[in-house]
Amino acid sequence: MNLSMKDKILQHFLQSKGEPISGQQLADELGISRTAIWKHLQTLQEEGYEFITIKKKGYQLVAAPDRVDAAKISSFLNTKRFGYSIHYFEEIDSTQTVAQKLARQGAEDGTVIIAEEQTGGKGRMQRIWHSAKGKGIWMTVIIRPNILPHQAPQLTLVAAVSVVMAMKSLYRNFTPEIKWPNDILINGKKCAGILTEMLAEMDRVDGLLIGIGINTNHELDDFPEEIQSIATSIAIEEKRKVDRAELVAEILKNLEHYTDEYVANGFTSIKSLWEEHSGTIGKRIKASTIRETIEGQAIGITDEGVLEILLDDGQVKKVYSADIEIQN
């Protein structure tokens, strides 16, 4: 893990779960002087972490700011390679843009770009993704599976499954559902969106940028008015604020696991997990494509992630890209 010395110190405190740590012990373990430890603690205090000194025991972390920085995420991380390189920003235009640059410079598989706030968050098809400061998870994971360009949409489905499974393992008060292609809805409202971009040559994928946006600790009025009726957050549905770093770590664990499973064993198990958690399959829907509007019953997805709709006249239509509305 490429943590700075300051982050390594912080990680020790976060993992100590409130127990004091002796300055000498920390200095010995990290191979630096006690003065250097003290200086790093000063910097952390300036960033909003609060420490107290306990006689004969050392320093105790008593308050931490609500951030999704590398040290915080690492303290929950349980992966083999994903999340070992984390690029954290207070504010950024879009994590996708930075990810693109880093991927071109050779960033390793599982590199994470995450920000507290995005000023130019991107949705699909040039749409805007609202990314309020400190409220959500706005991150891109660079992955480098050995696949062909036509398989890339399947990895988008892997990402949706990873997010839903992470929510299901951490929260109890709601059931998230995937809306084709890649929205995560809770009680019919959008809580998360996924945007996948690809760096590829004709016959080879260099990398995929899996952009994940999750409304996490928003109250309703943290959303701009125009989306208040269609958006929700985990905090609204779970009825409590949640730890964003814990959710990030859980998603990274799943994304690594399901990507490896996909590369080793193919798409079948991912496809059935996706269908199992989908709120679209089996429902009557209206799909608006650039050319037409189609109504019918969503009956499944193909191996390419294409949606199949059974029309009233018995024909099955394949939809590659559309906005869909689920009808009651």
Q: How far is the CB of 163 from ligand BTX (least distance, A)?
A: 11
In terms of C-beta density within 10 A (0-12 exposed, 13-18 middle, 19 or more buried), how is residue 290 classed?
A: exposed
Q: How far is the CB of 283 from ligand BTX (least distance, A)?
A: 18
Q: How far is the CB of 92 from ligand BTX (least distance, A)?
A: 9
Does 80 engage in binding with ligand BTX (CB under 6 A)? no
Nearest-angstrom CA–CA distance, 299 and 319: 12
Does 118 engage in binding with ligand BTX (CB under 6 A)? yes
Nearer to ligand BTX, 127 or 150 (CB): 127
Half-sphere exposure of 237 (CA within 13 A, CB side): 25
β-pairing, 86-92 vs 111-118, is parallel
Does 216 engage in binding with ligand BTX (CB under 6 A)? no
In terms of C-beta density within 10 A (0-12 exposed, 13-18 middle, 19 or more buried), how is residue 82 classed?
A: buried
Closest residue to ligand BTX in the complex (CB): 193
Structure tokens at 324: 């869909």
Nearer to ligand BTX, 218 or 271 (CB): 218
In terms of C-beta density within 10 A (0-12 exposed, 13-18 middle, 19 or more buried), how is residue 229 classed?
A: exposed
Residues in region 135-164 near ligand BTX by CB under 6 A: 138-140
Q: How far is the CB of 128 from ligand BTX (least distance, A)?
A: 6
Binder of ligand BTX out of 77, 142, 143, 231 (CB under 6 A): 231
The answer to whether 174 and 190 are in contact (CB under 8 A) is no
Binder of ligand BTX out of 20, 83, 193, 296 (CB under 6 A): 193
Tell me which stretch binds ligand BTX (CB under 6 A): 6-14, 162-170, 191-199, 311-319. Answer: 191-199
Q: Any residues with CB less than 8 A from the CB of 235 and at least 6 apart, and which?
A: 216, 217, 218, 219, 241, 242
Tell me which stretch binds ligand BTX (CB under 6 A): 9-17, 24-32, 192-200, 254-262. Answer: 192-200
Nearer to ligand BTX, 146 or 229 (CB): 229
Tell me which stretch binds ligand BTX (CB under 6 A): 59-67, 79-87, 189-197, 236-244. Answer: 189-197
Does 122 engage in binding with ligand BTX (CB under 6 A)? yes
Axis crossing angle, helix 268-276 with helix 244-265, rounded to the nearest 10: 140
Nearest-angstrom CA–CA distance, 9 and 71: 9
Binder of ligand BTX out of 34, 101, 127, 239 (CB under 6 A): 127
User: Which DSSP letter does residue 128 get?
Assistant: B
Nearer to ligand BTX, 47 or 91 (CB): 91
32: left (phi over 0), alpha (psi -120 to 50) or beta: beta
Q: Any residues with CB less than 8 A from the CB of 209 and at least 6 apart, and which?
A: 96, 99, 100, 103, 140, 141, 142, 196, 197, 198, 199
Q: How far is the CB of 317 from ligand BTX (least distance, A)?
A: 21
Nearer to ligand BTX, 36 or 235 (CB): 235
Q: Which helix (H) or strand (E) holds 33?
A: none
Residues that bind ligand BTX (CB under 6 A): 94-96, 118, 121-125, 127-131, 138-140, 183, 190, 193-195, 211-213, 215, 227, 231
